[in-house]
Amino acid sequence: MDTIKLTIDNREVEVPKGTTILKAAAQMGIDIPTLCNFELEGLALKNHPGGCRICVVEVVGRRNLAPACITECMPDMVVKTNSLRAINARKTVLELMLSDHPNDCLQCAKSGKCELQALAAKLGIREIPYKGEQSHYQVKVSPSIVRDIDKCIMCRRCESVCHEYQSVGAIGAVDRGFPAVVSTAFGKDLIDTNCVFCGQCIVVCPVGALTEVDNTSKVLRDIANPAVKTCVQVAPAVRVALGEEFGMPAGSIVTGKLTAALKQIGFDYVFDTDWSADLTIMEEGTELIGRLTSFLKGDKSVKLPMMTSCCPAWVNFYEKFYPELKENPSTAKSPQQMFGAIAKTYFADKIGVKREELVSVSVMPCVAKKFECERDEFKTNGNPDVDYSITTRELARLIKICNIDFTKLPEAEFDSPLGESTGAAVIFGATGGVMEAAVRTAYEVLTKQSLPKIDFTELRGLEGIREAKVNIPGVAELNLAIVYGLGNARKIMEQIKAGTCPYHFIEVMACPGGCIDGGGQPYHHGDAEIIKARHKAIYEADANMPIRKSHENPSIQAIYKDFLVEPCGEKSHHLLHTTYFDKKTKFDLEK
Amino acid sequence: MCGSKIKISEANYLKVKEICASFNNNPGELINVLHQTQGHFGYLPEEVQQVVAECLQIPVGRVYGVVSFYSFFTMKPKGKYAISVCLGTACYVKGGDKILDALKSELKINEGEVTPDGKFSIDVLRCVGACGLAPVMTINGKTYGRLVPEQVKDILAQY
């Protein structure tokens, strides 16, 4: 490999040709500040517009300052990242940005996690010498995402993730000059656009311009209400990320402390979405086996490939962009909604309350789940199966509000009966997990034999599109694909439309690496190592479980015996399955 | 539960499709497509941008981003007779602003607006390349040069 020698801050360094000054400096331990620059290395998510100019450095012999994030190293280059000229320019750029930024850090939802605030601290900004015009836009609220565009610094990370990564294109830059702003087409509300509420725009936003709808006060209100009982479910990916909010290393598995915290906050019943993930496998796995068996018998009307339907942003995506393929995804509801449906029927009956007297809350790594709760098809007489959802970040805030010292909490167990789960359920939190859980069950159900090995490592990994073949002896060799990122999902959908898709079953998750990097997770600020640590922790949590196959969950077996009768049976069909709608924008042609 | 429905006349829908097709529905031709579409309709209303987005297979936000970025593109309808007043350096020095004022008081509208009957609209531009004739205005492409404010009334009366 060709390498280049150069000098940065009086030290020599040798880097491969094509390396930017920013990366060369980083490997020397020089931390040049950035703002618009963003990259989740290894997960194909990036934004390098070179637009904000916070990273400017002095290059000896060059007339103007160079943006380090997009300037490649050249032989014998002499770079000064901390010359007076560079420091002054960087400060001026930041001061100009701050002169059009609301000075409301105290009540900003991003306070303490804001990259602009951190930068002002790092550069030692003590006054803003520029008084000029300020942007004033209305705060826009959607079911999942709040947009406070006065805080936008036009880094356009959200636009990159929405257009290039997710291939959705709901938000982007409009107008020019001072009024230029990130907005929707024609300034519409997100709900009236193609937005799928994945929330990756929130994840990458360096400031408080994009945040989640905050439901923490609803939780406190309902817990204090003596007229209702409260139950909560916690999604798999929350337990491998929540610890980060309390200074624990990324990848800490905090299931026991998390359960204890929810009890201390005051929920009457603390349950586990992992339980309903096992239930999902029973339903979705049975549906897959049904479709495959018909297909192998020669029924060509069967819709294959079957696709997973757990991810609510993915559901929104195919309803809005590929309604012609809406029969391909499994009709099984997501684990969140299966849980809600059982909580408001079976469980409410068991504890002797009406569904209106039971508030069902979910803790999710996701903001699209907030929208999912609000879907009309998941309500009975206007009462939702899941009343509302909070993100991992909101739970961390609740824990702090409730004076709980998280790291010192003793571990607790989930309540029964909707709390028991298996290793197959916890891996739902990572890309490939739903697929592996389904294969573990489908294999044993179809062959009536015990799996020779539980771990399907060929289904694991962090590449955006993965394929694998799994042989089910005496039945078939299954062609499987696992996809995350909706841009990747779009490629698969186009294959299906063209009739060139070779797969039987496809797992799709909208977010990078699956739910572990969902739109509601603690901010990683572009550090891919955090995602990798959460990914590893998910599989560790699986390996630690005594039972690792969904169909062996005794509490799942019990609910089929007592209540549901059989997977994909009449009762399941009514409670645990759904239909999808055509939500594509259409033209109403007038003669 | 359905997606949004965009109302547009069939004739206009087909016209936009035809323009896009003449550029092979190539998203790289977005600006040219918009230029020609505006040439036909006089402006680029939302429903027209939606059809362009569908034909070129790009998010409508991309189309709107371009339309809102370039001052040449407009989402407001123009009058049947679109008046453009040049305020480029030469015309300005020769009193282009006074021509504009005369038009505004005669038609009782501001620049960027259309008369209530839809007949006239006034826009301002910077240089039409006829500096020798300054001050200049154009009406639907026809150039009027060496203007004095008193002529405005008579010129408008021809339409």
CB pairs under 8 A between A and B: 88
A566 carries an active-site annotation: no
CA distance A179 to A152: 12
A114 carries an active-site annotation: no
Q: Which two tokens stand for residue A308?
A: 């997973």
Non-local (6+) Cβ contacts of A20 within 8 A are A68, A69, A70, A71, A72, A73
Q: Does residue A156 lie in a domain region? A: yes
Q: Same domain, yes or no, for A336 and A448?
A: yes
Check residue A365 and give its pLDDT. 98
Is B68 within 8 Å of A174 when comparing Cβ atoms?
Answer: yes
Q: Sign of the C-alpha dihedral, residues A577, A575, A384, A516?
A: negative
Please write the tens of the pLDDT for every residue from B2-52. Answer: 578 999 999 999 999 999 999 999 999 999 999 999 999 989 999 999 999
Given A155, A311, A515, A568, the catalytic residue: A515
Question: Measured between beta carbons, which residues in chain A are less than 8 angstroms from residue B16?
Answer: none
Is A588 within 8 Å of B6 when comparing Cβ atoms?
Answer: yes
Nearest by CB to A586, which of B3, B10, B49? B3
Q: Same domain, yes or no, for A505 and A555?
A: yes
- List of domains in chain B: 10-69 (no CATH), 81-157 (3.40.30.10)
Given A310, A311, A366, A501, the catalytic residue: A310
A377 carries an active-site annotation: yes
CA distance A369 to A145: 11
Domain region containing A198: 105-212
Q: Does residue A585 lie in a domain region? A: no
Question: Measured between beta carbons, which residues in chain A are less than 8 angstroms from residue B61?
Answer: 169-172, 174, 184-185, 193
Work out the pLDDT band at A21, boundaries 50, 70, 90: very high
CATH code (residue A247): 3.40.50.1780
Query: What percent of chain A is modeled with pLDDT above 70?
Result: 100
| Mean pLDDT computed over A203-217 | 97
CATH code (residue A176): 3.30.70.20
Given A244, A372, A394, A507, the catalytic residue: A372
Q: Same domain, yes or no, for A186 and A226?
A: no
| Mean pLDDT computed over A297-325 | 96
pTM: 0.93
A540 carries an active-site annotation: no
Q: Which residue of B has its CA nearest to A192?
A: B4
Structural domain count of chain A: 3
Nearest by CB to A587, which of B1, B8, B64? B8
Question: Measured between beta carbons, which residues in chain B are less than 8 angstroms from residue A377?
Answer: 1
Rounded to 10°, the helix A115-122/A84-99 angle is 140
Q: Same domain, yes or no, for A293 and A431?
A: yes
Question: Is residue B1 predicted with pLDDT exceeding 70?
Answer: no
Q: Which residue of B has its CA nearest to A163?
A: B59
| Secondary structure string (H, E, C) spanning A512-555 | CCCHHHCCCCCCCCCCHHHHHHHHHHHHHHHHCCCCCCHHHCHH
Question: Is residue A454 predicted with pLDDT exceeding 50?
Answer: yes
Contacts by residues B128-135 (CB-CB < 8 Å, ≥ 24 positions apart): B128/B84, B128/B86, B128/B88, B130/B86, B131/B88, B131/B90, B131/B91, B134/B86, B134/B88, B134/B90, B134/B91, B134/B93, B134/B94, B134/B96, B135/B86, B135/B91, B135/B92, B135/B94, B135/B95, B135/B96, B135/B98, B135/B99
Work out the pLDDT band at A551, boundaries 50, 70, 90: very high
Is A589 within 8 Å of B60 when comparing Cβ atoms?
Answer: no
Is A185 within 8 Å of B63 when comparing Cβ atoms?
Answer: yes
Mean pLDDT across chain A: 96
Q: Same domain, yes or no, for A412 and A492?
A: yes
**Which DSSP state fits A457?**
G
Among the candidates A212, A228, A261, a domain finishes at A212
Question: Is residue B54 predicted with pLDDT exceeding 50?
Answer: yes
Check residue B128 and give its pLDDT. 84
**Best of A178, A379, A586 to disrupt the B interface by mutation (most B CBs within 10 Å)?**
A586
Q: Same domain, yes or no, for A378 and A512?
A: yes
CA dihedral A183, A186, A187, A190 (to 10 degrees): -80
Q: Which residue of A has its CA nearest to B65?
A: A174
| Mean pLDDT computed over B101-121 | 93
| Mean pLDDT computed over A355-381 | 98
Is B4 within 8 Å of A192 when comparing Cβ atoms?
Answer: yes
Mean pLDDT across chain B: 93
Q: Does residue A581 lie in a domain region? A: no
Q: Does residue A590 lie in a domain region? A: no
Helices and strands in chain A: count of H runs, count of E runs: 19, 23
Check residue A267 and give its pLDDT. 98
Q: Same domain, yes or no, for A184 and A60?
A: no
A327 carries an active-site annotation: no
Please write the tens of the pLDDT for every residue from A495-531. Answer: 999 999 999 999 999 999 999 999 999 999 999 999 9
Nearest-CA distance from B56 to chain A in Å? Answer: 14
Q: Which two tokens stand for residue B135?
A: 């001050």
Is B46 within 8 Å of A186 when comparing Cβ atoms?
Answer: yes
Question: Is residue A421 predicted with pLDDT exceeding 50?
Answer: yes
Start-to-end CA distance of chain B, whole Å, equals 50
CA distance B39 to B43: 8
Given A369, A370, A532, A549, the catalytic residue: A369
Check residue B2 and give its pLDDT. 59
Check residue A22 and give its pLDDT. 97
A369 carries an active-site annotation: yes
Nearest-CA distance from B147 to chain A in Å? Answer: 33
Comparing B123 with A490, the larger pLDDT belongs to: A490
Please write the tens of the pLDDT for every residue from A228-284. Answer: 999 999 999 999 999 999 999 999 999 999 999 999 999 999 999 999 999 999 999
Nearest-CA distance from B69 to chain A in Å? Answer: 5
| Mean pLDDT computed over B77-82 | 89
Please write the tens of the pLDDT for every residue from A89-143. Answer: 999 999 999 999 998 999 999 999 999 999 999 999 999 999 888 889 999 999 9
